[in-house]
Amino acid sequence: MLINESTKSIDCTDFRIFLKKLVKDKIEKEWTEDFVDQINFITIPRMVIRRRYENKGIDLYKLIKDINYYKHVKANVNSRGSLEFDKKK
């Protein structure tokens, strides 16, 4: 599991791997794997990234923890990276 339940944190290396998976699965549509490799988590804190997904209607913590939610997002994400809420699960 990528999240430590007691601290609600994720290791930067694991988070970077997860972000690359989002790029590969076309959930993250604005970034590339190379960009993710270059992200400085000091300059761009993980909380900023979390809000980035929340602003698109995606719960990042749930995306990391829940494989069914991940599959749902992957199947229902639109070209802007937001969920298509009109699609039925």
**What is the rounded CA–CA span in Å between residue 28 and residue 1?**
21
Q: Report percent pLDDT > 90 for the chain.
A: 36
Q: What is the pTM of this model?
A: 0.78
**Distance, first Cα to last Cα, the chain:** 25
| Better-scored residue on pLDDT, 85 or 78 | 78
**pLDDT value at residue 14:** 87
Residue 73: phi and psi, rounded to 5, are -65, -45
Domain boundaries of the chain, sorted by first residue:
12-76
pLDDT in tens, 40-69: 888 887 788 888 888 888 988 889 889 999
